[in-house]
Amino acid sequence: EVQLVESGGGLVQPGGSLRLSCAASGFTFSSYGLHWVRQAPGKGLEYVSAISSNGVTTYYTNSVKGRFSISRDNSKNTMFLQMGSLRVEDTAVYYCARDFAAAAVTKFDYWGQGALVTVSS
């Protein structure tokens, strides 16, 4: 069974840092790209960041560029999101999602349960 489990969320002050983890099981981790998507309280889904299966290619949405860093450890089946210079507007549930990319189809076919990050003084 495919599982993605986020951890590392919590309360942090503005300007602070936090590292989220996404632990995967039930599939060949090193064969799949992964994404982070966030959802502010009562709001819609916002695409945040992505990493290729080998970790070489990354992407960041403009609002987090220079502040967030995505990485992965394929030996530990885990992806990370290092978040720095956090702002109140970064408060959200952060989801990791698996990217089933094949034959020009990209779809987020499995999602974690989410990790809540609250940025507040």
Distance of CA 50 to the CA centre of its chain: 7
Phi, psi of 31 (to 5 degrees): -100, -5
Instruction: Mention every residue, 6+ apart, whose C-beta is less than 8 A from residue 53.
Output: 30, 31, 32, 33
Tell whether residue 107 is a contact of other proteins (CB under 8 A). Answer: yes
Tell whether residue 50 is a contact of other proteins (CB under 8 A). Answer: yes
- How many residues comprise the chain? 121
Please choose, out of 19-27, 67-75, 80-88, 112-120, the segment that lies near other proteins by the rule CB under 8 A: 112-120
Instruction: Rank residues 83 and 93 by Cβ distance to other proteins and give the closer one.
Output: 93
Tell whether residue 108 is a contact of other proteins (CB under 8 A). Answer: yes
Q: Which of 13, 45, 54, 76 binds other proteins (CB under 8 A)?
A: 45
CA atoms within 13 A on the CB side of 115: 21
Please choose, out of 10-18, 19-27, 67-75, 105-113, the segment that lies near other proteins by the rule CB under 8 A: 105-113
CA–CA dist 94, 20 (Å, integer): 9
| Binding positions for other proteins, rule: CB under 8 A | 35, 37, 44-47, 50, 59, 61, 95, 105-109, 111-114
